[in-house]
Chain A
Amino acid sequence: MEWETVIGLEIHAQLNTVSKIFSGAPTAYGAEPNRQACPVDLGMPGVLPVLNKGAVERAVMLGLAINAEITPRSVFARKNYFYPDLPKGYQISQFELPIVGLGHLDIELEDGSIKRIGVTRAHLEEDAGKSLHEGFEAMTGIDLNRAGTPLIEIVSEPELRSAKEAVAYMKKLHSLVRYLDICDGNMQEGSFRCDANVSVRPKDQAEFGTRAELKNLNSFRFVERAINFEVERQIDLIEGGGSVVQETRLYDPDRDETRSMRSKEEANDYRYFPDPDLLPLVVDSAFIETVREKLPELPDAKRARFVEQYGLSDYDAGVLTATREMGDFYEAVAAGCDAPKLAANWVMGEFSAALNRSEVELGEAPVNAEGLAGLIARIQDETISGKIAKEVFEAMWNGEGDADVVIEAKGLKQITDTGAIDTIIDEVMANNPQQLEQYRSGKDKLFGFFVGQVMKATQGKANPAQVNERLKAKLDS
């Protein structure tokens, strides 16, 4: 039987506000445990939440970026459950009326076609603290620094049909939140997290199969592997005569498998009700317009502009706009060298390869946009060849100075003086009489030998086109 996979993603993105969603405590990552938790975050008796306007602004930004309806009057609710890292015994979240309603996101499939994925909703909520299980001798430590960090939970429609589509959607959203500068996107620190609802059904069946919710998918790779594992597990189960039960499953990256965490019967009854400590959140059109004015150029628009403005291929434009930083970097390089296509090749080629090799982020690269533009300008004005440029780039990456400094220090300037080239050719011809004779007696293939000798004598600095032209003239005369 042929099976179809149905996936919906719930993505939690931490919003990069300075202070927490309901208190004035700072949100910075990595402080000593419990140093960034004020009485409100600690759930002290008598404390009350006050909504952070910055979190609302960021949520509205996301809503506008995915063409969603912004709910004029949304409501914060309490999600009640007991857990030691949940200080109040409830999480303040949005339930029936989320701030962001129905929207959509376009993803690119492997065949290059575009698929529109519906976003059901996005709502604001507070993060919980962390339970620390190591170093407490069979006890558990609680760190409430993260408690109260603003989150936006973005829920997709069950419209993703493969692990690859799920990853494409997740990457697109990841790029978007960073473009909007509402989330730092750091998946290792948990700033961008994903749960996946996965089910399978016979290809021609309209109803959805029973789904499992996969947790702990904190990298793109894990999302893909966990979904693939889970799809196979469900198909094997059904084909073996069994049936899928609705449950929450935890992905274990070490063993590359999903394991049951709790079934539907064991699931919490969260007893949601509107939080009486917070008034309904009213977002009027004036507020929405002020947020709209702050929206940066979004990835799809930037990609189209790159094709238009710089004459790049759609593919190259897509690569260069994958992150806001990369797009900005490319534009700075292009502006600095007036050779947009060459700039694109360099940014995507040597430069990206060097980033990967050195495992550094764009912002920490030893060669900045201005430096790279300077190098490309030297190729453009024929001071150096493209081949020599790679050598110069290596030196620049190793901190030996900008392009001109390296070219000067290493004497890499291209030889374009016809007289100088002629002199070298004459020397090569004089030093290789045997080959010269063979060539002249009809062994044309030896032309390459002479080119090699000339380039060797100039350490590759001679302008290759000129070498060809002059050599041909002299050999054939």
Chain B
Amino acid sequence: MAQETLSGWVRKLQAREVSSRELTQLYLDRIERLDPQLNSFITVTAEQALAQADAADARLAKGEQSPLLGVPIAQKDIFCTEGVRTSCGSRMLDPFVSPYNATVVERMSADGAVMLGKTNMDEFAMGSSNETSFFGPVRNPWDTERVPGGSSGGSAAAVGARLVPGATGTDTGGSIRQPAAFCGITGLKPTYGRVSRYGMIAFASSLDQGGPMAATAEDCGLMLNSMAGFDERDSTSVERPAEDFTAGLNQELKGLRIGLPTEFFGEAGLDERVRGVIDAAIEVLKGRGAEVREVALPNSHLSVPAYYVVAPAECSSNLARFDGVRYGYRCENPEDLMDLYTRSRGEGFGDEVKRRIMVGTYVLSAGYYDAYYLKAQKVRRIIADDFRCAFEDVDVLLAPTTPELPFALGAKADPVSMYLSDIYTIAANLAGLPAMSLPAGEIDGLPVGLQLIGNYFDEARLLGVAHQYQQETDWHARVPAAFA
């Protein structure tokens, strides 16, 4: 029964075939029974969830048809939730209970979604394996000796194991798409500015974007309908007319121009088996009428280096507020102000976070700013220009989401090899483009993700292409045996 998709549940709830309370209880039971194997939740809010479910049932009884009414979801623990611990995967915020709700939380809650809890993540969203969490690593439901990807690893694993039908994620350099690929689910990073960042704890403000993670493209569309929209509390949020992201799901692919960026296929490090899966997916899309051609993104090799200047720079500043003065972790018996700062931050942050703060502080320093930060911003513009040129000839871009299969826990001790896990996802963040990952195959019982990158605000088309693909394949419907 837990194999039902989020959109399937929406239909059943609206038809009153199931109550929100039953559904909520079903998933709470699964979390209690199965999550010890995965560690995908940091906080489960069972009592609050059941109360929300009852409220949703009352609204359903009145015939209300709000899209997510009564549907259980989970929030990545990066979104502030009033009265509930919001840890961001860090010891620094282990004791932090937010006094306010993130806009995303507020919108989904107003639409009647039932929050089951807060999902595990890499500390402050910095990581690609979910191993940097203060609350311990999350395990991949397809093979619990492997990582689920990161930073939204908890959300991806929870959805992959069907502990929840849908969850939110955030994507700064691939943090929705890479774990979606590793856990065999569908995840969308919207255009920068689509989803309000208010209340989403900042990692790299110019790159961060929240988005949906669920089994199917249709699920993601329904969730995005609730999550997206202009927010006057976020100055970078884009004011546009409301849009139905499920409107293009049934759009035929005939005449669709798909571009294959040469650079995303030729680079060393792409697992041949992954490439095989992507090639097969291309054939499926061609079979439904899409035209495929190669395109060039000649500066894509600059993405990872530019990202690892911009993201740490912004993070070094964004994380300065965690100083032990007002909230969060404070060291014991500080001797003086400097001791309070250095020990609170030294003890409160993990290694990867410290590494990025140090890199970021360095690249912003007087004398280095021009050589690093300013240069990286110029590279960003060049990368965005490459995409602009590509989208003059094609409608969407298609590529692998990751160069390789989910790796074993502890396998990437060297930070740079970890960073390269996001080699295909980072460019979309630098350019601010929407991009998604959907399951497209399996190798040795492990899922493989297919990435689609769209033009600005073209989420509906991306979801449409993915939905059409999912009409002909069933990779999205597969659930790891241990969790079926």
Contacts and interface: CB of A to CB of B under 8 A. Distances in A.
Q: Which of B319, B326, B341 has the most chain A CB within a 10 Å cutoff?
A: B326
A140 B236 CA distance: 36
Contacts of B142: none
Given A80-B364, A87-B326, A45 B232 contact: no
Given A80-B320, A88-B320, A269-B366, A46 B235 contact: no
Task: Give the size range of A's interface with the partner.
Answer: 20 to 34
- Taking residues whose C-beta sits less than 8 angstroms from the other chain, chain B's interface range is 35 or more
Given A82-B320, A90-B320, A271-B317, A46 B99 contact: no
Contact of A82 (B234, B313, B323, B365): B323
Contacts, number: 101
Interface string B85-101: 01010000100101110
B454 interface: no
A80 B373 CA distance: 15
Nearest to A51: B235
Contacts of B314: 276
A49 interface: yes
Contact of B198 (A46, A82, A272): A46
B99 A44 contact: yes
A289 interface: no
A47 interface: yes
A51 B236 CA distance: 12
B122 to A, nearest CB: 16
B365 A271 contact: yes
Contacts of A87: 321, 325-326
B93 A45 contact: yes
B369 A50 contact: no
Given A45-B98, A78-B317, A142-B325, A50 B364 contact: no
A28 interface: no
A273 B199 contact: no
Contacts of A272: 364, 369
Interface string B353-391: 000000001001110010001000000000000000000
Nearest to B234: A48
Interface of A is mostly: loop
Contacts of A78: 317
Interface in B181-199: 197-199
A278 to B, nearest CB: 5
A44 B86 CA distance: 11
A33 interface: no
A386 interface: no
Contacts of B322: 45
The winner among B88, B96, B235, B369 for most chain A CB atoms within 10 A is B235
Interface string A40-61: 0011111111110000000000
A279 interface: yes
Contact of B80 (A46, A89, A276): A46
Given A271-B364, A276-B206, A46 B201 contact: yes
B199 A50 contact: no
Interface in A64-87: 78, 80, 82, 84, 87
Contact of A48 (B197, B319, B326): B197
Contacts of A39: 99-100
A139 to B, nearest CB: 10
Contacts of B233: 48, 50
Interface in B210-234: 232-234
B201 A45 contact: yes
A44 to B, nearest CB: 7
A54 to B, nearest CB: 15
A46 B202 contact: yes
A277 B96 CA distance: 23
Interface string B311-347: 0011011011111011110000000010001000000
Nearest to B196: A48
Of A42, A49, A276, A277, most buried by chain B (CB within 10 Å of CB) is A276
Contacts of A276: 204-206, 236, 314
A124 B365 CA distance: 23
A48 B321 contact: no
B102 interface: yes
B200 interface: yes
A49 B200 contact: no
A48 B198 contact: yes
Contacts of A278: 235-236
Nearest to A76: B235
Nearest to B206: A276
A48 B202 CA distance: 9
Contact of B320 (A89, A140, A279): A89
Contacts of B316: 80, 271
Given A50-B233, A269-B365, A44 B198 contact: no
Given A82-B341, A273-B364, A47 B199 contact: yes
A345 B93 CA distance: 67
A87 B321 CA distance: 6
A49 B321 CA distance: 14
A279 B317 contact: no
A276 B99 CA distance: 24
A21 B235 CA distance: 13
Nearest to A49: B235
Interface string A356-373: 000000000000000000
B364 A88 contact: no
A49 B233 CA distance: 7
Interface in A139-171: 140, 142
A39 B99 CA distance: 8
Interface in A260-311: 269, 271-273, 276-279
A90 B318 CA distance: 9
A279 B237 CA distance: 10
Interface in A103-138: none
Interface in A421-450: none
A411 to B, nearest CB: 69
B84 to A, nearest CB: 13
B364 A277 contact: no
A196 B205 CA distance: 36
Nearest to A42: B326
Interface string B426-452: 000000000000000000000000000
A279 to B, nearest CB: 6
A277 B327 contact: no
Contacts of B327: 44-45
B321 A89 contact: yes
B235 A271 contact: no
A273 B205 contact: no
A359 to B, nearest CB: 40
Nearest to A131: B337
Contacts of B328: 45
A49 B316 CA distance: 18
Interface in B61-96: 79-80, 86, 88, 93, 96
B6 to A, nearest CB: 25
A279 B198 contact: no
Given A44-B98, A47-B198, A271-B364, A80 B317 contact: yes
A43 B373 contact: no
Contacts of A44: 80, 98-100, 327
Nearest to A142: B325
B236 A277 contact: yes
Given A39-B100, A45-B98, A84 B325 contact: yes
A80 B320 CA distance: 8
Contacts of A51: 235
A142 B326 CA distance: 9
B321 A88 contact: yes
Contacts of A49: 235
Given A45-B201, A80-B364, A279-B235, 14 more contacts: A46-B80, A46-B198, A46-B199, A46-B202, A48-B197, A48-B234, A50-B235, A82-B323, A89-B317, A89-B321, A271-B316, A272-B364, A273-B313, A276-B204
11 contacts: A39-B100, A43-B321, A44-B99, A45-B80, A45-B321, A46-B80, A48-B197, A48-B234, A80-B316, A89-B317, A272-B369
